[in-house]
Structure 1
Amino acid sequence: MIRNKFFLIGLFLVALAVIYYTFFDSGNMTSAVGPEETINPETYRQQVVASRAEKDKFLRTDAESPIIDKKAFTGLTYFGPDPAYRVTARLEPFADKTQKLVVKMSDGSEEVYTKFAHAVFSLNDQPCRLLIVKLANTYSILFRDATSNKETYGGGRYLELDPATLTDTHAILDFNKAYNPYCVYNHTYSCPLPPAENTLPIAIKAGERYKE
């Protein structure tokens, strides 16, 4: 059974870094990093669309793509880019930095992740709290929300944190970059399932949708 890797880690961390340094523009919108930084909403939307196009190209052409029938692949489906789903989270780190989380996999096996912190934030006027886990040098959130098994994949989606926006006390969570695991496209992959505590009661209408 091929193990799921967090989606295109190398490629998309580079893309995230480019987007991060491109977005910041004066006087248009307060960013999640701090009050002294702003992002241009239209530039942001354009960058998200461009990043999604690059991802479609990868899935359609690359040998590492999990897509089985690449010729029939017409692209992923998404919610429209919305800067409102790019939020600041306050981090609640664990005093014990060695705490582990045993994560169930879609094939019934298990993987062990390091507990990094809880991210506390407000979205759609609702307080939210999600566990951030670490595997190697990747910080991720595995989550479900009110769209799961309706508009999005029932097994949950993933969100990776850009290290450039991660500090000891705060992180940027950009749900426009929430994505499906490899097992959505190819049953030979085994994917980690979100822990029970990472089920949000609100609908995260951002990021990747699910298409049969």
Structure 2
Amino acid sequence: MTQKTVDQDSGHQHADRNPWLSLLDWRRRVSKLYEDVRNSADPQAAHTTWKAGRDALFGGHLQSPLTPEARAAFTGLPYWPYDPGLVFRVPVDTDVAPERFVIQTSAGHDMPLTRFGRVTLPFGTLDVYWIDVYGGGVFLPLRDATSGRESYGGGRYLLDTVKGADLGGAAGGELRLDFNFAYHPSCFYDHRWSCPLAPPANVLKVRIEAGERAIP
């Protein structure tokens, strides 16, 4: 029996019969969602589009991190109101010494990372990592004073380009960091997922009341 999702196009139905094709479909949809964000001239409108797109994926896609029971009762992810004061374009400081290390994921697996830069924000600094596996990708996780209370204790992700979560920036090394797009990793919803957690260097002392939250 083939499980069908909200989108009933023939390609998506075919993906439903194969978990690898289903994962490919998920990745394509996430990448398209972030492409729309990068191409939008209105960040707040792009944020609304992003939230609607994530709700559609979480509620109707086989690769949703939600359990089947949670998916059946799903009505949408909770977010803080959009805050235009938490949008930055910052250069990556690459004068910091590169450091390669292995962190533990939520499931106790090893994840190799290379710290290759740092960004400075009005409320602190965050290290920028390269996920040191085949293909690689920029990874920027964070924890803040809401972590473990109004958001996941293991932190949230701002960028994870391996998964298509890329807000863009200038080719010269500048990153667009919009904290309204901070989101929870899959392990927040179901422990069967294994997710790298925010390292100690990426813990902010302030409250980042933007992006996805744990409670409405």
TM bucket (normalised to shorter chain) is 0.7 to 0.9
**Aligned position for 1:12:** 30
- Are the equivalent residues in 2 in contact too, given 1:45–1:81 (CA < 8 A)? yes
**Aligned position for 1:77:** 78
User: Could you list the per-position Cα deviations for residues 38-91 of structure 1 after superposition, in whole angstroms to 9, with x for gaps in the alignment?
Assistant: xxxxx3222211210110110111111111121111111001112211112231
The normalised TM-score by structure 2 is 0.76
- Are the equivalent residues in 1 in contact too, given 2:167–2:176 (CA < 8 A)? no
Q: Which of 162, 165, 170 is matched with 2:169 structurally?
A: 165
Matches within 5 A, 1:14-33: 14-23=32-41
> 1:190 Cα shift?
1.4
Distance 2:27 2:128 in 1: 16
Structure 1 SS opposite 2:148: coil
- Are the equivalent residues in 2 in contact too, given 1:90–1:121 (CA < 8 A)? no
Structure 1 SS opposite 2:90: strand
Indicate yes or no: 2:45 matched with 1:49.
Answer: no
Structure 2 SS opposite 1:100: strand
Gaps of 5+ in 1: 24-42
Q: Which amino acid aligns with 1:111?
A: M
Distance 1:132 1:168 in 2: 15
Distance 1:10 1:47 in 2: 18
Change beyond 3 A, Cα 1:9–1:131: farther
* Greater percentage in strand: 1
* Greater percentage in helix: 2
Q: Which of 118, 122, 129 is matched with 2:125 structurally?
A: 129
**Aligned position for 2:61:** 62
Distance 2:204 2:149 in 1: 14
Matches within 5 A, 1:184-203: 184-203=188-207
Distance 1:94 1:67 in 2: 40
Q: Which amino acid aligns with 1:129?
A: T
Task: Quote the sequence identity (%).
Answer: 30
Gaps of 5+ in 2: 1-22, 160-164
The normalised TM-score by structure 1 is 0.77
